[in-house]
Amino acid sequence: MTDIRLILPYPPSVNHYWGTKVVTSKLTKKAKGRKRLIVLRFLTKRAKQFRNDVALHAIEQLGKPPELRGRIAVIVEQFHGPGKVQDIDNCLKGLFDALEHCKVYRNDSQIDELLVVKKRRSAVGRVEVTIRPLGE
Protein backbone atom coordinates (compact mmCIF):
# COMPACT_ATOMS: atom_id res chain seq x y z
CA MET A 1 0.00 0.00 0.00
CA THR A 2 1.23 3.50 -0.78
CA ASP A 3 1.54 6.43 1.60
CA ILE A 4 -1.53 8.45 2.48
CA ARG A 5 -1.09 12.21 2.37
CA LEU A 6 -3.63 14.69 3.74
CA ILE A 7 -3.67 18.46 4.00
CA LEU A 8 -5.90 19.41 6.93
CA PRO A 9 -6.87 22.51 8.88
CA TYR A 10 -4.79 23.25 11.96
CA PRO A 11 -6.24 21.34 14.95
CA PRO A 12 -7.42 23.04 18.11
CA SER A 13 -4.97 22.69 20.98
CA VAL A 14 -5.63 19.99 23.53
CA ASN A 15 -6.65 22.82 25.90
CA HIS A 16 -9.55 23.69 23.55
CA TYR A 17 -10.40 20.15 22.47
CA TRP A 18 -11.84 18.80 25.71
CA GLY A 19 -14.25 20.61 28.01
CA THR A 20 -14.96 19.84 31.64
CA LYS A 21 -18.17 20.28 33.58
CA VAL A 22 -18.64 19.57 37.27
CA VAL A 23 -22.11 18.53 38.41
CA THR A 24 -23.44 17.50 41.78
CA SER A 25 -25.44 14.39 42.49
CA LYS A 26 -27.31 13.37 45.61
CA LEU A 27 -26.00 10.23 47.22
CA THR A 28 -28.17 7.45 48.61
CA LYS A 29 -30.21 7.84 51.80
CA LYS A 30 -27.39 6.15 53.73
CA ALA A 31 -25.18 9.11 52.91
CA LYS A 32 -27.70 11.38 54.68
CA GLY A 33 -28.34 13.81 51.87
CA ARG A 34 -24.72 14.58 51.12
CA LYS A 35 -23.80 15.41 47.56
CA ARG A 36 -20.94 14.16 45.45
CA LEU A 37 -19.17 15.92 42.64
CA ILE A 38 -19.05 14.31 39.22
CA VAL A 39 -16.58 15.57 36.63
CA LEU A 40 -17.75 15.17 33.04
CA ARG A 41 -15.39 15.41 30.07
CA PHE A 42 -16.77 16.27 26.66
CA LEU A 43 -15.70 17.36 23.19
CA THR A 44 -16.02 21.10 22.70
CA LYS A 45 -17.84 22.65 19.75
CA ARG A 46 -14.44 23.46 18.25
CA ALA A 47 -13.39 19.81 18.53
CA LYS A 48 -16.60 18.57 16.91
CA GLN A 49 -16.23 21.10 14.09
CA PHE A 50 -12.60 20.02 13.58
CA ARG A 51 -13.63 16.34 13.40
CA ASN A 52 -16.23 17.19 10.76
CA ASP A 53 -13.71 19.26 8.80
CA VAL A 54 -11.16 16.42 8.87
CA ALA A 55 -13.79 13.95 7.67
CA LEU A 56 -14.74 16.23 4.78
CA HIS A 57 -11.09 16.80 3.80
CA ALA A 58 -10.32 13.08 4.03
CA ILE A 59 -13.25 12.16 1.77
CA GLU A 60 -12.35 14.96 -0.64
CA GLN A 61 -8.68 13.91 -0.82
CA LEU A 62 -8.92 10.12 -0.45
CA GLY A 63 -12.40 9.15 -1.51
CA LYS A 64 -13.37 6.48 0.97
CA PRO A 65 -10.90 6.54 3.90
CA PRO A 66 -8.94 3.26 4.00
CA GLU A 67 -9.24 2.40 7.73
CA LEU A 68 -5.70 1.06 7.97
CA ARG A 69 -5.42 -1.95 10.27
CA GLY A 70 -1.68 -2.58 10.67
CA ARG A 71 1.18 -0.71 12.26
CA ILE A 72 1.80 2.78 10.85
CA ALA A 73 4.28 5.63 10.81
CA VAL A 74 3.01 9.21 10.82
CA ILE A 75 4.72 12.43 9.75
CA VAL A 76 3.00 15.65 10.81
CA GLU A 77 4.18 18.92 9.27
CA GLN A 78 2.77 21.91 11.13
CA PHE A 79 2.28 25.23 9.38
CA HIS A 80 1.24 27.62 12.13
CA GLY A 81 -1.11 30.42 11.26
CA PRO A 82 -0.79 33.96 12.54
CA GLY A 83 -1.06 34.42 16.29
CA LYS A 84 0.72 33.11 19.33
CA VAL A 85 3.47 30.54 19.28
CA GLN A 86 2.16 26.97 19.41
CA ASP A 87 3.74 24.08 21.28
CA ILE A 88 4.74 21.35 18.85
CA ASP A 89 2.80 18.62 20.66
CA ASN A 90 -0.34 20.51 21.67
CA CYS A 91 -2.42 19.63 18.61
CA LEU A 92 -1.54 15.96 18.19
CA LYS A 93 -4.21 14.26 20.31
CA GLY A 94 -7.05 16.11 18.57
CA LEU A 95 -5.53 15.42 15.16
CA PHE A 96 -5.08 11.69 15.85
CA ASP A 97 -8.56 11.33 17.32
CA ALA A 98 -10.10 13.07 14.29
CA LEU A 99 -8.22 10.78 11.87
CA GLU A 100 -9.45 7.78 13.83
CA HIS A 101 -12.99 9.15 13.96
CA CYS A 102 -13.13 9.50 10.15
CA LYS A 103 -11.66 6.00 9.72
CA VAL A 104 -8.27 6.72 8.18
CA TYR A 105 -7.02 4.14 10.68
CA ARG A 106 -8.70 2.07 13.39
CA ASN A 107 -6.95 3.47 16.46
CA ASP A 108 -4.10 5.85 17.15
CA SER A 109 -2.43 3.09 19.18
CA GLN A 110 -1.37 1.72 15.74
CA ILE A 111 1.20 4.51 15.47
CA ASP A 112 4.67 3.05 16.05
CA GLU A 113 6.70 5.88 14.53
CA LEU A 114 5.96 9.59 14.75
CA LEU A 115 7.80 12.60 13.34
CA VAL A 116 6.48 16.10 14.03
CA VAL A 117 8.06 19.04 12.21
CA LYS A 118 7.32 22.74 12.65
CA LYS A 119 7.42 24.52 9.32
CA ARG A 120 7.22 28.19 8.44
CA ARG A 121 4.18 30.25 9.33
CA SER A 122 1.44 30.48 6.76
CA ALA A 123 -1.48 32.84 6.22
CA VAL A 124 -3.85 30.06 7.29
CA GLY A 125 -2.68 27.36 9.67
CA ARG A 126 -2.67 23.79 8.41
CA VAL A 127 -1.10 20.41 8.98
CA GLU A 128 0.17 18.08 6.30
CA VAL A 129 -0.02 14.46 7.41
CA THR A 130 1.70 11.52 5.77
CA ILE A 131 0.73 8.03 6.95
CA ARG A 132 2.91 5.13 5.93
CA PRO A 133 1.98 1.48 6.56
CA LEU A 134 4.83 -0.38 8.23
CA GLY A 135 5.76 -3.96 7.45
CA GLU A 136 4.64 -6.45 10.06
Q: What is the reported pTM?
A: 0.82
Angle between helices 92-101 and 45-62 (to 10 degrees): 60
Average pLDDT of the segment spanning 31-39: 73
Catalogue all structural domains in the chain, each as residue range(s) with its CATH number: 4-17+44-133 (3.30.1330.70)
Most confident of the following: 15-29, 75-89, 94-108, 113-127:
94-108
Quote the CA–CA distance of 10 and 125 in Å, as a whole number.
5
Average pLDDT of the segment spanning 20-45: 77
Quote the CA–CA distance of 98 and 43 in Å, as a whole number.
11
pLDDT tens string 68-87: 999 999 999 999 888 767 78
Q: What contacts 112, CB < 8 A, 6 or more positions away? A: 71, 72, 73, 134
